[in-house]
């Protein structure tokens, strides 16, 4: 099965809570790119809602900044964050967008 990959400019968001591609709720991966051509973030969508993995990278040359499990348009599961120096910044668990537990660290 081929995964549809799009950029922000290709999706429509009419304000009803869903993202659309050509009039149909989007299922696939949304990619955001930096001006220098490096991948800034990617997020999986299902039926127009954020659902699956979301990853965000620090600016070039960037390591991972955020990795999150999502469902129904919100964080749902483990969410981890890193400082630019690569050290862990946070590790939390969310249920339906609400943080239920977690830890934060400074640099």
* Domains of the chain by residue range: 5-104
Low-confidence ranges of the chain (pLDDT < 50): none
Rounded Cα gap, residues 67 and 54, in angstroms:
6
What is the structure's pLDDT at 82? Answer: 96
Cut 0.85: pTM above it? yes
What is the structure's pLDDT at 62? Answer: 77
Block residue for tokens 């969310």: 94
What is the structure's pLDDT at 44? Answer: 98
CATH architecture of 5-104: Single Sheet (2.20)
């Amino acid at each position: 099965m081929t995964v549809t990959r799009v950029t922000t400019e290709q999706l429509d968001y009419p304000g009803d809570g869903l993202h659309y591609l050509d009039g149909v709720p989007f299922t696939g991966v949304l990619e955001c790119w930096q001006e220098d051509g490096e991948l800034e973030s990617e997020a999986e969508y299902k039926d127009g809602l954020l659902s699956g993995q979301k990853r965000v990278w620090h600016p070039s040359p960037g390591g991972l900044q955020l990795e999150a499990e999502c469902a129904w348009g919100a964080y749902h599961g483990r969410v981890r964050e890193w400082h630019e120096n690569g050290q862990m910044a946070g590790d939390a668990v969310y249920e339906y967008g609400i943080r239920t537990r977690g830890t934060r660290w400074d640099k």
